[in-house]
């Protein structure tokens, strides 16, 4: 028969077991809380790193990559036009151009005339795009062979119905690239044109230049319009300028962003519906 002493000892042991269980539960909750807090810190740190990386990693801007629903905030577009490039020594006028046939044309195109090419004056070209009108002023004194080829392709209707396939929005390279009928970034007219570059050549807002591969004299039909900054070596032929009206169109496209963000296809699709001379 249980005595009072035995009952008191049993109750004490029960109480001790309950206290032990409560202490274990408290410690378990504390461990879970610590783990959860650490996980939150890791997620926040990773998020900050990703934002910095997607924002271009530039030391000259505080703009990070925005949320997907706010692509406008990702693009910081300067308003000041870059100085128009000029050669210190004029080229011979007229001049000859070394166009080299080769490779499969993305769209049928004939070689432009290669002799008696003028290296004086300017030529107006208008790109009528799905995003708006983009007037260009081509400079023969700057790049006569490039201007001659570009005008020839325009007159042949080569650029009609072609997309602008690449938009870059990161500080240091802000351009809209066009001129490939395939939209893949690999198409050309079936010939290449010579580089027309010089050491003092620089790029910036309002400059029109030719795209190319890393190989010299590899340009064809693809070109890019600089709407912001372009920290590039003087290896890309600049051959004209973009009007303020045209820049406002490109700015609108740039503010819509690209996919992937920073360098990819424009989120606002741009098609050169027709290109005309004059």
Specify the number of domains making up the chain. 2
The reply to whether 199 and 240 lie within a common domain is yes
Task: Give the pLDDT confidence score for residue 40 in this predicted structure.
Answer: 33
Share of the chain above pLDDT 90, in %: 73
Task: Give the pLDDT confidence score for residue 231 in this predicted structure.
Answer: 97
Whether residue 62 lies inside any domain: the answer is: no
Task: Give the pLDDT confidence score for residue 74 in this predicted structure.
Answer: 62
Task: Give the pLDDT confidence score for residue 152 in this predicted structure.
Answer: 98
The reply to whether 135 and 10 lie within a common domain is no
Residue bearing the bigger pLDDT, 24 or 97: 97
The reply to whether 150 and 50 lie within a common domain is no
Tell me: the pLDDT tens digits for 225-236?
A: 999 999 999 999
Whether residue 84 lies inside any domain: the answer is: yes
The mean predicted confidence, pLDDT, of the chain is 82
Helix, strand or coil for residue 196? coil
The reply to whether 49 and 96 lie within a common domain is no
Q: Which of 60-64, 212-216, 253-257 has the lowest mean pLDDT?
A: 60-64
In this prediction, residues 24-52 reach a mean pLDDT of 35
Confidence category of residue 51, pLDDT binned at 50, 70, 90 = very low
Residue bearing the bigger pLDDT, 189 or 13: 189
Confidence category of residue 268, pLDDT binned at 50, 70, 90 = very high
The reply to whether 127 and 190 lie within a common domain is yes
Q: Which domain holds residue 44?
A: 1-54
In this prediction, residues 159-173 reach a mean pLDDT of 97
Residue 35 has pLDDT above 50, yes or no: no
| 200-203: long-range contacts, CB 8 A cutoff, minimum separation 24 | 200/85, 200/88, 200/234, 201/85, 201/234, 201/236, 201/238, 202/82, 202/83, 202/85, 202/234, 203/82, 203/230, 203/231, 203/232, 203/236, 203/238
The reply to whether 235 and 176 lie within a common domain is yes
Pick the closest to residue 246 from 206, 276, 216 (CA basis).
Answer: 206
Whether residue 87 lies inside any domain: the answer is: yes
The reply to whether 124 and 40 lie within a common domain is no
Residue 153 has pLDDT above 60, yes or no: yes
The reply to whether 150 and 255 lie within a common domain is yes
Residue 48 has pLDDT above 80, yes or no: no
The reply to whether 99 and 212 lie within a common domain is yes
Tell me: the pLDDT tens digits for 65-121?
A: 333 444 444 699 999 999 999 999 999 999 999 999 999 999 999 999 999 999 999
Whether residue 28 lies inside any domain: the answer is: yes
Q: What are residue 201's phi and psi, to 5 degrees?
A: -65, 130
- Domain of 75, CATH number, reads 2.40.100.10
Question: From edge to edge, which strands make up the β-sheet containing 223-230?
Answer: 162-163, 271-277, 122-129, 132-139, 238-242, 207-210, 223-230, 173-178, 166-168, 263-266, 258-259
Task: Give the pLDDT confidence score for residue 184 in this predicted structure.
Answer: 97
Residue 264 has pLDDT above 90, yes or no: yes
The reply to whether 159 and 251 lie within a common domain is yes
Task: Give the pLDDT confidence score for residue 45 in this predicted structure.
Answer: 31
């Amino acid at each position: 028969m249980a005595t009072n002493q035995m009952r008191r000892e049993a109750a004490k042991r029960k109480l001790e077991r309950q206290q032990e269980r409560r202490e274990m539960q408290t410690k378990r909750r504390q461990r879970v809380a610590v783990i959860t807090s650490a996980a939150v810190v890791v997620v926040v740190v990773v998020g900050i790193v990703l934002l910095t990386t997607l924002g271009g990693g530039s030391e000259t801007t505080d703009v990070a990559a925005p949320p997907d629903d706010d692509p406008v905030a990702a693009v910081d577009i300067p308003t000041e036009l870059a100085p128009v490039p000029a050669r210190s020594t004029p080229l011979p006028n007229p001049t000859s151009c070394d166009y080299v046939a080769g490779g499969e044309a993305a769209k049928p195109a004939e070689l432009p005339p290669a002799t008696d090419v003028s290296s004086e004056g300017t030529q107006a070209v208008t790109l009528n795009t799905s995003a708006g009108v983009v007037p260009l002023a081509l400079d023969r004194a700057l790049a006569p062979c490039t201007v001659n080829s570009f005008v020839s392709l325009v007159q042949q209707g080569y650029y009609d119905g072609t997309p602008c396939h690449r938009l870059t929005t990161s500080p240091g390279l802000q351009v809209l690239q066009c001129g490939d009928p395939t939209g893949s970034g690999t198409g050309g007219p079936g010939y290449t044109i010579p580089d027309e570059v010089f050491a003092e050549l620089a790029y910036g807002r309002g400059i029109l230049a030719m795209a190319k591969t890393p190989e010299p004299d590899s340009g064809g039909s693809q070109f890019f319009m600089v709407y912001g900054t372009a920290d590039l070596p003087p290896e890309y032929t600049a051959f004209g300028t973009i009007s303020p009206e045209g820049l406002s169109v490109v700015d609108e496209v740039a503010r819509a962003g690209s996919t992937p963000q920073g360098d990819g296809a424009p989120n606002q699709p741009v098609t050169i519906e027709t290109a005309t001379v004059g």
